[in-house]
Structure 1
Amino acid sequence: MDDQNKNLLIATALSFAVILVWFVLFPPPDPALDPETALPPASQTETAPIATTPDAAPVDTSTATQAGPTAVADAPRVEIETDRLTGSISLAGGRIDDLSLKDYRVSVEPNSDVVHLLNPVGTASPYYALFGWAPGGGLTLEDVPSVTTDWTVESGDRLTTDSPITLRWESPNGTIFRRLIEVDDDFMFTVTQSIENTTDTAISVAPYGLIARHGEPADLKNFFILHEGVVAMADGTLAEIDYDDMTDFPVVPTEGARAEVTQVAESGWIGFTDHYWMTTLIPDTGTPFRQVAKYNDASNIYQTEAVQPTVTIAPGQTQEVTTQLFAGAKEWETIREYQNNGVDRFIDAIDWGWFFFLTKPIFWLLHHLNLLIGNMGWAIIGLTLIIKAILFPLAYKSYVSMAKMKELQPEMEKIKERAGDDRQKLQQEMMEMYKKEKVNPASGCLPILLQIPIFFSLYKVIFVTLELRHAPWLGPFQDLSAPDPTSIFNLFGLLPWAAPEPGSLLALVFIGILPLLLGISMWLQQKLNPAPTDATQAMIFAWMPWVFMFMLGGFASGLVVYWIANNTITFTQQYLIMRSQGYKPDVFGNIKSSIKRSAKTGEK
C-alpha cells in the first residue's frame, strides 16, 4: 500500500471518529411538543383500539364519548406488589397503568425516586396497557367492555406473584366477561380473557391487547445510536419504528388513524422500547394475529396493538384467550430466559445495531466477566485484554512491520529528498525499498480497520445495555454509562463539588482524569509509530491525542476506560515487539525533530 492510499485509510478512520464524536457531543435537539396537544382534550383521551381482524370483515371502530382524566383517576384500583414491581390496576377499563420498577432508581443517589414505567391518564405522560374484545356479529359496542368500563373484582384483593386477581363485568345483554391477571417474579404479566355467552344466539368477537402512549416520552433521547419507539417481531422479522416515522404513516380508514399493519402467521410480539425499559404484547405462539403500529393525529397518541382472529361463541359456551404483557427493564438474562421459554427472538428487543454479530458476543463476554469479577470497570479491562489477545497474531505482524518502518525512516527521508516533487519517482523508489527490506506497509492498516467496528460495537454495548447503567467501578466512578464525573475544576474528585455539566463549555475546558489519561496513552502510543514525512501530517498527528482528549470528555466513562486500556496494552505490546526486533524506541523523543526535517525537505 503506497503512502497515498495509507493516508486515505487514515483519513477515513479519523473522519469516522470525528463524526461519531460530533454526534455524541452535539446530538439532534429534542422536538418540542405543542402544549395544547401534549395532553389531549378529555373527549379525545383515548381512541378506538380495533380495526379489522385477520380473518373477518371489518368490525365497528366507533366509540362512545370517553370519560375524562378525572373519572379514570377516581376509579377504584387493585394494588400490584411483587419483589420487583409496585403499582396498581385501574378498574376503569381494567387497565394496567401504574407501574414502578423497585430495583432501578432515576439517578445513582440512593434516595432518588424509583423508575416509573407506566402512568395513568391525568398524569403528565399517560402510558398504559388495555385488553378487550372487539364486537362482531350479534354484538354492539355497548355489549363489550370499553376502555372506561367499570370492572368489579371477583377474586383476589391485590396482585402478587402468588395471588392473581380476576375482574368481572356483565354486559347489558347478559354476556359475562372475565379477566384473569397474573404476574411472575420478574416483569411478565399474563392476561387471560374469557367470555361466557349467556344469550340464546351466537356472538362473534375479536380479542385484542393494546399499549397506548400519550405523546412522545419526556426523556426521549433522539440519539442516532439508540432506537426508541416501536419494536416488533413478526414471524422472525424484526421491525424498529421511530416515533417521528409513525407520524408519517399513511391513514388507514379501517384503523381510524395513521397505521402500519402486519399480519403475523405463527409468532411475534409488538410494543414500545425506551433506552432501558420496554412494554410488549405477546400473543400465544402459534396464534395468528394482526400487528398494528398506530398514531392518532387528533389526540397525539401512539399505539401498538395485537388483534387476534375473530371467534364465534355458541349460546352457553365460553371462550378464553391469553396474552402476555412484558413491562419492565431490558435485562439481558431476564429477556433471554423469556426467549428460552418460547418468546420468539425476544433478545432482539435490545438494540444490538448493525454490528449485532459483534455486539452480541462482546456483551455476552462482558456480562460473564462482570459476574466473575464482580465489577464492571475491571470487566471492561478484562474484555480489552481478551480482545487484544485474539488480535495479537495480526498485531504482531503489524508491530514488526512498524519497527522496520521506524528503522527505515532516515532512508525514507533521503528518498524523499532525492525525488523532490517527482511523485512517481518517490513511489517507485519507496516500493523498491520495501521490496528490498521485505517490509509490507499495509500490514499496519489491518489492525486499525478491525479496531473501528470493535470500538463502535463496544460503544453500542456500553451505551445501550442496561447492565452498564449505574454500574460502579472505583472511587468517584459510580456510573460507567455516564461521562467522567471528575474534573480539574474539582481536583479530580478530591474537592466536594461536582464537575461541570457534560456538554457545557466548562466541561470541554476542565476535563476529567480519564480523558487526560486517554490523551497521554494516545501520545505514548503515537511515539512508537513511524513519523509522517509530510510536515502537515506530522503536525496533525502531533495534535491528535490532545484534540481527542478534549473531544471524548463527554463519552461514557466505561468506553474511555476501554480506550485507555487498549492504548496501554497496545503500547506495551508494540514496545516489547520492537525491542525483540532489535529496535530500541526513543519513546520520549521530541516529535518536533521530524517536523523540522520535513519542513527543511519542503524548502529544498
Structure 2
Amino acid sequence: MEDQTKNLILATLLSIAVLVLWMFLSPILIGTPPVDETPTPAVTAEQGETGATAPAPAGGGAPELAAAPTVTRAEALGETQRVRIDTARLGGSLSLRGGRIDDLDLKDYRETIAKDSPDVTLLTPAGVAHAYYALYGWSPSGGLPASAVPGPATNWTVEGNDTLTETTPVTLSWDNGQGLVFRREMAIDKNYMFTITQTVENNTGAEVKLAPYGIIARHGMPADLLNFYILHEGVIGAADGQLTEIKYKNVMELPTDAAEGGAALEKIDVKDNGWIGFTDHYWMTTLIPPPGQPFTAVSKYTAATDTFQTDVRMPLVTVAPGQTASSTTSLFAGAKEWATIRDYQNDMHIDRFVDSIDWGWFFFLTKPIFWMLHHLHMLIGNMGLAIIGLTFFIKALLFPLAYKSYVSMSKMKALQPELEKIKEKAGDDRMKVQTEMMALYKREKVNPAAGCLPILLQVPIFFSLYKVIFVTLELRHAPFFGWIQDLSAPDPSSILNLFGLLPWATPAATSPLHIISIGVWPILLGISMWLQQKLNPAPADKTQAQIFAWMPWVFMFMLGRFASGLVIYWVANNTITFTQQYLIMRSQGIKPDVFGNMFGFRGKSKKAG
C-alpha cells in the first residue's frame, strides 16, 4: 500500500511538471507576436541604401557594406519618388530609386480581429527596422564597368502610366549615357503575382555581356518570427523537384564565400524548374523564373548588415550592337492561400509551389485533411462547423475498426466483477493476479489491447489536424459562433472571471495564473474525456486507476491553450466516440451507468447479472 501511495504521489508530481513545462514551451497564442522594435542597420548611399548585395561580377567581389542610421517607415517612403500600387488585394508603392518593390500591404488581411486593425504589411523599405523588399538588376561582365548597369541606388524614370494596377502595368527606364538603355516593365495579376520584364538595348557599337538577377532581402530576423518546431520559417524553394527549406539561423551558418564579401551562402544550379524566397507563418515572397529557364538559386546572409537574401541569377547574356535582350521573372508577394497557390502551380507550371505551405512529415494526412476541411468550409460557410463535419467523416471512416475495439472493451467491462474477485482472492500477490487475469482473458477470448488501436490511430490524425490548423492561413481569424472569433487562437473566455460575468480581465500570458485560465471549450474537453473514460474498463492496478482518473483534467489544461479549432475538434471527437461506444456497449448487453460511476456505482451487464 505504501508503494502505491508513493507511485501515486510521484505520478501526480510528474503530471504537474509536464503540464507546467508544456505551457511554457508551447506557443500560447497562434496569432501575431509582439513586434520587435529593435532597429536594424541600413547601409550608406554608396552601397545603394540597402543591405542586399548584387551578384558579384566576373573577376570582382561584392561591394563592402557599412552601417547607417535607421529611419521611420514614413520617412523612408517620403525620401524617394514612388509609383503607387493599387489593386483589389494589394496596396503600396514601388521606389523609383533602384526600382524596388518595397512597400506592400495585404488589403484582405488585418493584424488582429479588431475592426480598426491595420492591414498586414508585407514589404518595408530599406533603412527601416526589419526592412523587407525585392529588387532587380544586371551584373556586368566582359570588362563592362559596374557604373554601366543599374544598381540599387539608380534613379529610374516612369514611362507613361504611373499607377500599377491589374490592368495597367508600369514601365521604368534608365539611360546610362554610355549607349545602354534599360527598361523594366512591372505587371501584376488580380492576386499576388508580379511579372517583371527587364530589357537592355545596346547602342554602344560593341557587344556587351551582362546577367540579369532578382533579389529578395530581409534586414535582421523577422519581427513576427515564431521559431516553433512545428512550423518552417526562413528560406523556401524548389530546384528540379527537390524542396529546399533553410531556417534563418541555419542560413547564418552556411559556408562563407570570399568572392562574395565573406557572406554565408549556398548556391543551387537549377536546370529546368524552380523558385526561391522567404516564407513566414502565413505570408511569402518568392522569385520565380519561367519553367525551362536555367538559373542559380542563392541563399545568403551578410553579417556586416545582418541581411538575409535570396537571389535568382540568370545565365550571362551577350547583346550584339543594335540588339535588345530581355529577361522575365515572376514575384509572388502575398498570402499563402492554398487555392491561390495551387492555381499558380497548375496554370504557371510552378513545380511544388503548393508545398510552400508546410505540410510536415505527415503530408499524406495533412494534405487530404486540409482538402476535406477546405471543401466542407466552402459548402457550409463556417470553418468551425467544417471542423465538426470533418470529425464526423473521420469517425465514419474509422468506424469498422472502432466497432471491433468497442466490442472487445464491452467484453472487458463485463468481466469487471470477475476481475474484482480475482484481486480479492489473490490479495497482494501481483504475479498471481496477472496470471489469473490472462487466463480469464484467454478463456473468454478477450484481447485487452484491442481498445488501444483506435487511440493509436487518432494520434497521427490529431497531430495532422493540429498541423493544419496551425500552419494554414484559412484558419487565421476564422470565426465560429459567439465568443470564438478566431479558430487559430485559444478560447478567449476564462473560468477566472466566470467567462466574462465578473468585471475583471483575464490574466496576461506572463502571469502564473494564465496556466489555469481556461475557457468554456477546454472545460468541455475535460468533461468529454472524463465521460469517455467512464465507459472503459478500469486498470487492474489501483495506482494506475488513480493516475488515469487525473488524465482528463491534466489534458484539459494541457490542450486548453491550443487553438480553439483544435479543441472543438477534440470535443466533437470525444462526443461522437462516447455515443458510439455507449450504443455498442448497450448492444453487447452492457448497461453503463456513467454518472453512477461518479459516485462509485458500476454499470450492469447481462453476464454479471
Give the TM-score normalised by the residue count of structure 1: 0.90
Structure 1 counterpart SS, 2:364: helix
Q: 1:190 maps to which residue?
A: 195
Picking from 349, 355, 360, the partner of 2:356 is 349
Q: Is the 8 A contact 1:138 1:201 kept in 2?
A: no
**Greater CA drift, 166-175 or 74-83:** 166-175
Q: Does 1:526 align with 2:538?
A: no
Q: 1:366 maps to which residue?
A: 373
Picking from 332, 335, 342, the partner of 1:329 is 335
CA shift for structure 1 position 389: 0.5
- In the aligned structure 1, how far is the partner of 2:199 from the partner of 2:190? 24
- Residues 544-563 of structure 1: per-residue CA shift (max 9 Å, x gap): 11122122221111110001
Q: Does 1:218 align with 2:223?
A: yes
Report 1:492-531 matches (<5 A): 492-494=499-501, 498-502=505-509, 504-531=511-538
Q: 1:456 maps to which residue?
A: 463
Give the TM-score normalised by the residue count of structure 2: 0.89
Q: 1:146 maps to which residue?
A: 151
- In the aligned structure 1, how far is the partner of 2:465 from the partner of 2:176? 55
- In the aligned structure 2, how far is the partner of 1:97 from the partner of 1:294? 19
Report 1:569-580 matches (<5 A): 569-580=576-587
Q: 2:186 maps to which residue?
A: 181
Q: Is the 8 A contact 1:270 1:306 kept in 2?
A: yes
- In the aligned structure 2, how far is the partner of 1:183 from the partner of 1:32? 29
Q: 2:404 maps to which residue?
A: 397
Q: 1:484 maps to which residue?
A: 491
Q: 2:313 maps to which residue?
A: 307
- Residues 585 and 98 (structure 1 numbering): CA distance in 2 closer, same or farther, change over 3 Å? same
Q: Is the 8 A contact 1:25 1:503 kept in 2?
A: no
Match for 1:329: what amino acid?
A: A
- Residues 157-211 of structure 1: per-residue CA shift (max 9 Å, x gap): 1100010010001113120100000000000000000011111111111111010
Report 1:98-177 matches (<5 A): 98-177=103-182
Q: Is the 8 A contact 1:266 1:288 kept in 2?
A: yes
- Residues 39 and 497 (structure 1 numbering): CA distance in 2 closer, same or farther, change over 3 Å? farther
- In the aligned structure 2, how far is the partner of 1:427 from the partner of 1:65? 75
CA shift for structure 1 position 234: 0.8
Picking from 41, 49, 56, the partner of 1:39 is 41
- Residues 339 and 493 (structure 1 numbering): CA distance in 2 closer, same or farther, change over 3 Å? farther
- In the aligned structure 2, how far is the partner of 1:294 from the partner of 1:526? 53
Picking from 94, 98, 123, the partner of 1:93 is 98
Structure 1 counterpart SS, 2:367: helix
Q: 1:316 maps to which residue?
A: 322
Q: Is the 8 A contact 1:266 1:287 kept in 2?
A: yes
Q: Is the 8 A contact 1:47 1:63 kept in 2?
A: no
Q: 1:5 maps to which residue?
A: none
Q: 1:289 maps to which residue?
A: 295
**Greater CA drift, 100-109 or 543-552:** 543-552
- Residues 481 and 254 (structure 1 numbering): CA distance in 2 closer, same or farther, change over 3 Å? same
Q: 2:4 maps to which residue?
A: none
- In the aligned structure 2, how far is the partner of 1:350 from the partner of 1:565? 27
CA shift for structure 1 position 491: 3.0
Match for 1:378: what amino acid?
A: L
CA shift for structure 1 position 497: 6.2
- In the aligned structure 2, how far is the partner of 1:164 from the partner of 1:208? 20
- Residues 97 and 112 (structure 1 numbering): CA distance in 2 closer, same or farther, change over 3 Å? same
Q: Is the 8 A contact 2:593 2:601 kept in 1?
A: no
CA shift for structure 1 position 426: 4.0
Structure 1 counterpart SS, 2:477: coil
- Residues 106-165 of structure 1: per-residue CA shift (max 9 Å, x gap): 111111101010010232221000011111114111000010100001121110001001
CA shift for structure 1 position 276: 0.6
- Residues 572 and 278 (structure 1 numbering): CA distance in 2 closer, same or farther, change over 3 Å? same
- Residues 442-486 of structure 1: per-residue CA shift (max 9 Å, x gap): 211111111111001101111111000000000111101111011
- Residues 476-519 of structure 1: per-residue CA shift (max 9 Å, x gap): 11101111011124432456765333464333233211111111
Q: Does 1:541 align with 2:548?
A: yes
- Residues 71 and 272 (structure 1 numbering): CA distance in 2 closer, same or farther, change over 3 Å? closer
Q: Is the 8 A contact 1:72 1:148 kept in 2?
A: no
Structure 2 counterpart SS, 1:200: coil
- In the aligned structure 2, how far is the partner of 1:148 from the partner of 1:241? 29
- Residues 351 and 496 (structure 1 numbering): CA distance in 2 closer, same or farther, change over 3 Å? farther
Report 1:426-437 matches (<5 A): 426-437=433-444
CA shift for structure 1 position 532: 1.1
CA shift for structure 1 position 432: 2.2
- In the aligned structure 2, how far is the partner of 1:402 from the partner of 1:65? 71
CA shift for structure 1 position 60: 4.9
- In the aligned structure 2, how far is the partner of 1:354 from the partner of 1:488? 36
- In the aligned structure 2, how far is the partner of 1:571 from the partner of 1:170? 75
- In the aligned structure 2, how far is the partner of 1:162 from the partner of 1:33? 37
Match for 1:451: what amino acid?
A: Q
**Greater CA drift, 178-187 or 507-516:** 507-516
Q: 1:23 maps to which residue?
A: 25
Q: Is the 8 A contact 2:43 2:127 kept in 1?
A: no
Structure 1 counterpart SS, 2:538: coil
Q: Is the 8 A contact 2:171 2:184 kept in 1?
A: yes
Picking from 29, 38, 49, the partner of 2:53 is 49
Q: Is the 8 A contact 2:52 2:309 kept in 1?
A: no
CA shift for structure 1 position 306: 0.7
Q: Is the 8 A contact 1:66 1:148 kept in 2?
A: no
- In the aligned structure 2, how far is the partner of 1:439 from the partner of 1:22? 42
Q: 2:63 maps to which residue?
A: 62
Match for 2:40: what amino acid?
A: A
Match for 1:317: what amino acid?
A: Q
Equivalenced residues, count: 578
Picking from 551, 559, 573, the partner of 1:552 is 559
Q: Does 1:384 align with 2:391?
A: yes
- Residues 372 and 158 (structure 1 numbering): CA distance in 2 closer, same or farther, change over 3 Å? same
Match for 1:214: what amino acid?
A: H
Q: Is the 8 A contact 1:42 1:67 kept in 2?
A: yes
CA shift for structure 1 position 407: 1.1
Structure 1 counterpart SS, 2:223: coil
Structure 2 counterpart SS, 1:206: strand
Match for 2:493: what amino acid?
A: T
Q: Does 1:249 align with 2:261?
A: no
Q: 2:595 maps to which residue?
A: 588
Structure 2 counterpart SS, 1:443: coil
Q: Does 1:74 align with 2:108?
A: no
- In the aligned structure 2, how far is the partner of 1:477 from the partner of 1:21? 21
- Residues 302-347 of structure 1: per-residue CA shift (max 9 Å, x gap): 1011101111111111110101000000011100110111111110
Match for 2:356: what amino acid?
A: A
CA shift for structure 1 position 423: 5.2
Structure 2 counterpart SS, 1:290: strand
Structure 2 counterpart SS, 1:560: helix
- In the aligned structure 1, how far is the partner of 2:309 from the partner of 2:345? 24
- In the aligned structure 2, how far is the partner of 1:543 from the partner of 1:277? 41
Match for 1:449: what amino acid?
A: L
- Residues 498 and 557 (structure 1 numbering): CA distance in 2 closer, same or farther, change over 3 Å? farther
Structure 1, unaligned runs of 5 or more: 1-9, 596-604
Match for 2:530: what amino acid?
A: W
Structure 2 counterpart SS, 1:441: coil
- Residues 515 and 408 (structure 1 numbering): CA distance in 2 closer, same or farther, change over 3 Å? same
Q: Is the 8 A contact 1:59 1:135 kept in 2?
A: no
